[in-house]
Copies of this chain bind each other. A is one copy, B any other.
Amino acid sequence: MRAAIAGASGYAGGELLRLLLGHPLEIGALTAASSAGSLLGAHQPHLPLLADRVIEPTTADVLRGHDVVFLALPHGQSAAVATELGDGVLVVDCGADFRLADPAEWELFYGGAHAGTWPYGLPELPGQRDLLRGTRRIAVPGCYPTAVTLALFPAFAAGLVEPDVVVVAASGTSGAGRSPKVNLLGSEVMGSVSAYGAGGAHRHTPEMVQNLSAVAGREVRVSFTPTLAPMSRGILATCTAPAAPGLTAAGLRETYETAVKDEPFLHLLPEGAWPATAMTLGANTAVMQVALDERAGRVVVVIAIDNLTKGTAGGAIQSANLALGLPEEAGLPLNGVAP
């Protein structure tokens, strides 16, 4: 089976390629927009095995004939490509186009017409694996929603928290993509942590609300503040919600131990240890810790992922593995690169 990658010159595309080099899928066409015609080595010099591959333009003609097509495109472009490819091809969209079920939310946060909804590529959500097996369309979750949903779904599924969530997350700069902008220059981001899109403005907020409300079975409110940290990769999300009456620390821990027990990519740290993004660099693993703050009356879950691996390309491949009938862990590193 062969895979094409649209958007091969960007960060998500590069991470897809790095992972696919160790995956049973064969790497077929590599495409991009403005980089078409250049060699991949000019954009992804950390992948010497692919250095001489020529990047082609992102057209249905080029992408056709593959068993899987991974799309790492700016939002708004995936629907047209998918339609042209037809229903027989597995299309995995790393963009936002097919994540939100509610057209009003889409229009409010993204503008323009809603493209539709595809099966949501977060296999750890209750019941989600069944929806992904054999599917030919996957909407890969956003990086922040991946972290926040994994952190809080066990608590909401078990009714341990009230639906009033506060999330503050730090992300590495690769989450903002590879388009050159002044605020993403090394000179601006090194030595500095900054907030952005705060006060409810970030586009990933409705996706978190959608996911957690579905698990909770009632409307969940989410106050989300993203921050940019001086590192290339990684998300550390601190997620809190009021503890339900009667919750104990032991009960909380037991719920999380049960939730992660059979999950290959979820790792709960021993009590007293807290996550660091370095624990997950290059791995498809989410590392978590949970505590009950009795004085503040809140449950606190901290989770670390690599935004490009579990948060984008690794998550995409994990769901694609399910869709293709491959082992879910195929080609996905469990161990990080540290220090």
A residues at B contact (CB < 8 Å):
11, 14, 18, 21, 39, 41-42, 44-49, 51, 164, 166, 168, 170, 172-174, 176, 178, 180-182, 184-196, 198-200, 205, 221-225, 227, 229-234, 236, 238, 240, 267, 269-270, 273-283, 285, 287, 289, 291-298, 300, 302, 304, 334-339
Cβ-defined contact, B190 with A296, below 8 A: no
Give bound CA distance, A180 to B182, whole Å.
Answer: 5
* Neighbouring B residues of A189 by C-beta, 8 Å: 186, 190
Nearest-CB distance from A96 to chain B (Å)? Answer: 19
Give bound CA distance, A74 to B44, whole Å.
Answer: 30
Nearest-CB distance from A60 to chain B (Å)? Answer: 27
Give bound CA distance, A339 to B189, whole Å.
Answer: 9
Nearest-CB distance from A65 to chain B (Å)? Answer: 25
Nearest-CB distance from A278 to chain B (Å)? Answer: 3
Cβ-defined contact, B223 with A276, below 8 A: no
* Neighbouring B residues of A21 by C-beta, 8 Å: 335
A48 with B186, Cβ < 8 A, contacts A227-B236, A300-B225 known: no
Per assembly, the copies of the chain total: 4
Nearest-CB distance from A307 to chain B (Å)? Answer: 11
Task: For the A-B complex with A170-B227, A173-B187, A229-B230 known, give 16 more contacts whose Cβ atoms are closer than 8 Å.
Answer: A46-B278, A48-B267, A48-B334, A49-B334, A170-B170, A172-B187, A173-B186, A180-B181, A180-B184, A188-B339, A190-B190, A191-B191, A191-B278, A195-B302, A199-B300, A230-B231
* Neighbouring B residues of A51 by C-beta, 8 Å: 267
Nearest-CB distance from A37 to chain B (Å)? Answer: 15
A230 with B186, Cβ < 8 A, contacts A181-B180, A276-B193, A296-B221 known: yes
* Neighbouring B residues of A302 by C-beta, 8 Å: 195, 198, 225
Nearest-CB distance from A169 to chain B (Å)? Answer: 9
* Neighbouring B residues of A41 by C-beta, 8 Å: 270
* Neighbouring B residues of A184 by C-beta, 8 Å: 180, 185-187
Cβ-defined contact, A337 with B339, below 8 A: no
* Neighbouring B residues of A231 by C-beta, 8 Å: 190-193, 230
| Contacts A/B (CB < 8 Å), 26 sampled | A14-B338, A14-B339, A46-B283, A46-B336, A48-B335, A49-B335, A51-B267, A166-B166, A166-B168, A166-B298, A168-B225, A170-B229, A174-B339, A178-B182, A185-B339, A186-B189, A187-B232, A190-B190, A191-B234, A193-B236, A193-B304, A195-B274, A198-B289, A200-B294, A225-B238, A225-B300
Give bound CA distance, A233 to B205, whole Å.
Answer: 30
